[in-house]
Amino acid sequence: MTVVMIAIIVLIFAGYWKMFEKAGVKGWMAIVPFLNLYVLVKMAGKDGWWIILLLIPLVNMVVAFIVSIEIAHRFDRSTGFGVGMTLLGFIFVPILGFGDAAWTADPVDI
Asked if 11 contacts 18 with a C-beta cutoff of 8 angstroms, the reply is no
Question: Residue 24: left (phi > 0), alpha (psi -120 to 50), or beta?
Answer: left
* Predicted confidence band of residue 109 (pLDDT cuts 50, 70, 90): confident
Distances from the Cα of 39 to the Cα of 4, 7, 27, 67, 73, angstroms: 27, 24, 11, 11, 16
CA separation for the pair 93, 72 (Å, rounded)? 10
State pLDDT tens for residues 51-95: 999 999 999 999 999 999 999 999 999 999 999 999 999 999 999
Question: pTM for the complete prediction?
Answer: 0.92
Q: For residue range 13-54, list pLDDT tens digits in order.
A: 999 999 999 999 999 999 999 999 999 999 999 999 999 999
